[in-house]
Chain A
Amino acid sequence: MAASYFDVDGTLVTTNLVHPTLFYMLRQPTPLHSLSKLGKALAKAPLLALAELQDRRIFNEMLFASYEGMSEDRLLTMAEEAFERVMKPALFPGAKELVRTCLDRGHEVVLVSGALDFIIKYLAEYLGATDIIANRLELKDRFATGKLLRPVVAGPEKAKLVRDHARAHGHDLDDCFAYSDSYSDVPMLSIVGNPAAVNPDRKLRVLAETYDWPIIRLDRAA
């Protein structure tokens, strides 16, 4: 059996990692807490922008530091709402059908995302995906430390995680598929036999055209 590995942000949904993070920040126990979180985030914005340009892993680590101090209960309780209000409305038309097409052909469908696991699991349930590879927050005494557990799901690390997943589940990578919108996911796309660019950014589109990878436009589906 083959597996289909899907990047999430920009590939299946229009949102990115910032949107659910903002959702949590705006729902702190008090408005003062929310303002404080937002203020800190805004102060970090230039550094985040720089990190995004340099290394997606550093960006993820800086962004998720905003979760520091939030209780596990609160994170989990609000995860479903975060999915319903942030991610679900942001799904590209056709995203669910693309996943269904893969499932109909007997593929295991795995969501590979830099987003946090407790939100992605709701997306997986909704789409019918069979597994997730997502970032996990470090918890200490049931409170988030603001750090990510290793390995951080981003950039080239995604390729290693996909390879490990395929090996563990008995998939031949030559038969597997990978879908992403971002040039930063080229390592993940390159290790499978059937890569596809979905709503690609400019650099990925050029690469996809050069290597004749299929280009899917879920953002333009009629």
Chain B
Amino acid sequence: MSHPCVVTIDSRSAPRTLFYGDQLMDVDLPTGTRVVYPKPPIAALKDVDAAIRYAINHPEGSEPLYALLKPGMKVTIAIDDISLPLPPMQRPDIRERVLTVVLDLLTDHGVDDVELIVATSFHRRMKGWEVRHMVGDKIFDRYWPKKLYNHDAEMPDGLVELGKTDQDEVVELNRRAAESDLIIYVNLNFVPMDGGHKSVTVGLCGYRTLMAHHNPKVMRNCWSYMDPGASELNTSIVRQGKVLQQKKRIFTIETTINNRMFDRPLEFLAKNEDDLSAVERAALRALKITLDKTPQALRQAVFDRFPAPYGVTGVFAGETEAVHKETIRRKSYEQYLVPVVGQADILVTGVPNISPYNVHAYLNPLLVQVMVNGYLFNLYKGAPMVKKGGTMIVLHPCTDKFDNEQHAPYIEFVHRILPETRDAMELHKRFEKKFAANPAYVEMYRSGHAYHPAHAFFMWYWGEAGRQHVGRVIVVGADNEYIPKLMGWETARTIDEALRMARTTAPPQPDILALHIAPMMMVEMFTEKAGRELPGASEPPPSFR
């Protein structure tokens, strides 16, 4: 018997309404298609502040935070950046609540030398008003910009090498953090790939550390970014994190939220279309028409304007690995995982204009690729949702549009580098080093709000596992042929046309699976109809590849 979040389409089923960028598209799916819906939001904590205090006083695998503090010590607090959560959280952001408790504790223990660093790694610098939204007025006014600032991975002498792993992976760290007596990390865990060693090891590092795992070779060996035990990326980061732990004292605070991305008036977007009330059906219709008639810039402004009413579901603190295990096991998977039996020949999914890398910006073509081949493909635990060589049908306009501040290096990557080759290994070997050293882009990263030039390459590598596994990607509703072709994708005007195309390379009665995203969810894929779980995820059977 299937999970209640898996709905099988029959002849009486209503069309499904899926995200198509920042619009909606109605699609009629064939009878027998299984549509996976997100689980309802799990219950939020009733007293978040009490949970924060309890967590830091009863930590996992560590002494309580207060016991680590000494008057006069040097403390660096690192914080997750704006890429989490998506969309941003209504105020107060959970990071503000954690920081308020932690900073009070530090003051009580005579710790005055405190600096807060937004752990941006190669992401864009957060703007002042974005940081204010995240940490709250009181903390912002007290610390910004001298003692609350963005990490700078290109600052001359701004990084310190702390050592190497047994695989020769360089571990370097932000100088302020490296010279601190204690590092406290305040995380917001949105998906299972967040948090753990990645927080400090990646968030506060430089290019040499990133090169160890942000490369096509490692990405090809990731079984799901969302299943840390099966991700070579995670394995490499854990190795670096262990070296870091030997050198520095780190106290990790991880928080989890539920998947309440839409406030009450829009909650129907997460519901089975067959179960909508008459009022909800009318509201859905009205929303779709409104979005269709609204200019894109205005649509984006509207989506940007409404942060999500997430509920905080857990707070865990202590030693990094022990904390992260609790985060993943107890809350992240509990919220997201929907069990599904049987991989699909054809996977259909909408692509919303939401990704970690385009907050307050348009989802440009490179990021559409990241969403399709990277994030959406990887929203599984166990086996991939689609069989090896299968087809993904995705809904997005693929507009050739970029934010020329945030994504300036992406533009050149897509229009000058990618036409040379789509081969990630070749891109890595021939182009990455020179492109990453472009002083104009580096300056835009350092003093502006652009992603680091190397990040454009990382975005392409991010899709590598998906590209190696999926046979075909067919885009429905692309407004141009050039971008999909550049990505190596085919185009179809309608979902029917896309399904006809997909069937030409699928078995006679193809298994079709559709993801009804967003809100956020993941599929726990079991390969056999009997429901036997996969072997250990860290050793995925080669037959899946």
Contacts and interface: CB of A to CB of B under 8 A. Distances in A.
A127 interface: no
Contacts of A105: 437, 439
Interface in B400-426: 402, 404-405, 408-409, 411-412, 415
Interface string A209-222: 10010111110111
A217 B448 contact: yes
B156 A212 contact: no
B439 A107 contact: yes
Nearest to B405: A215
Contact of A214 (B128, B402, B415, B441): B441
Interface string B145-157: 1000000001010
Interface string B445-463: 0111010000000000000
Contacts of A212: 402, 404, 408, 411-412, 415
Given A212-B402, A212-B415, A215-B405, A104 B441 contact: no
Interface in B468-492: none
B443 A94 contact: yes
Interface in B129-166: 145, 154, 156
Nearest to A4: B439
Nearest to A179: B440
Given A97-B156, A101-B154, A104-B156, A216 B443 contact: yes
B94 interface: no
B415 A216 contact: no
A177 interface: yes
A102 interface: yes
Contacts of B437: 105
B440 A216 contact: yes
A97 B402 CA distance: 27
Contacts of A130: none
A179 B439 CA distance: 11
B444 interface: yes
A212 B444 CA distance: 13
Contacts of B438: 177, 194
Contacts of A107: 439
Interface in A68-104: 94, 97-98, 100-102, 104
B442 interface: yes
A196 to B, nearest CB: 4
A102 B405 CA distance: 20
A102 B438 CA distance: 8
Given A107-B439, A177-B439, A97 B446 contact: yes
How big is chain B's contact interface, by range? 20 to 34
Interface in B217-258: none
Contact of B439 (A101, A217, A218, A220): A101
A177 B404 contact: no
A154 B438 CA distance: 26
Given A177-B440, A209-B404, A216 B154 contact: no
Interface string A184-222: 000000000010100000000000010010111110111
Contacts, number: 61
Given A101-B442, A105-B439, A222-B145, A217 B447 contact: yes
Nearest to A214: B440
A194 B408 CA distance: 13
B440 A218 contact: no
A194 B447 contact: no
A104 B437 CA distance: 9
B440 A194 contact: yes
Nearest to A104: B156
A91 B314 CA distance: 49
B400 to A, nearest CB: 11
A221 B447 contact: yes
B447 A100 contact: no
A220 to B, nearest CB: 8
Contacts of A97: 156, 443, 446-447
A218 B444 CA distance: 9
Interface string B507-527: 000000000000000000000
A192 B167 CA distance: 41
A101 B443 contact: yes
A63 B408 CA distance: 38
Contacts of A209: 404
Residue of B145, B156, B443, B446 contacting most chain A CB atoms (<10 Å)? B443
A221 B439 CA distance: 15
Nearest to B438: A194
Given A212-B402, A212-B415, A217-B447, A102 B439 contact: yes
B156 A98 contact: no
Interface in B286-312: none
Contacts of A100: 156
Given A98-B439, A101-B154, A105-B437, A216 B404 contact: no
Given A104-B156, A105-B437, A215 B404 contact: yes
Contacts of A98: 439, 443
Contacts of B154: 101
A136 to B, nearest CB: 28
B448 A216 contact: yes
Nearest to B125: A222
A98 B443 CA distance: 6
A215 B446 CA distance: 13
Nearest to B412: A212
Contacts of A179: 440
B447 A222 contact: yes
A58 to B, nearest CB: 31
Contacts of A101: 154, 439, 442-443, 446
A177 B412 CA distance: 14
Contacts of B448: 215-217
Contacts of A177: 438-440
Contacts of B409: 214
Contact of B408 (A4, A215, A218): A215
A97 B444 CA distance: 12
Report the 7 A-B pairs with minimum CB-CB distance, sorted nearest first: A196-B440, A221-B447, A214-B440, A212-B411, A101-B439, A102-B439, A105-B437
Given A212-B402, A216-B448, 11 more contacts: A94-B443, A98-B443, A101-B442, A101-B443, A177-B438, A177-B439, A212-B412, A215-B448, A216-B440, A221-B447, A222-B145
26 contacts: A4-B439, A94-B443, A94-B446, A97-B443, A98-B439, A101-B154, A105-B439, A177-B438, A177-B439, A177-B440, A212-B402, A212-B404, A212-B408, A212-B415, A214-B409, A214-B441, A214-B443, A214-B450, A216-B447, A216-B448, A217-B448, A218-B447, A220-B447, A221-B447, A222-B145, A222-B447
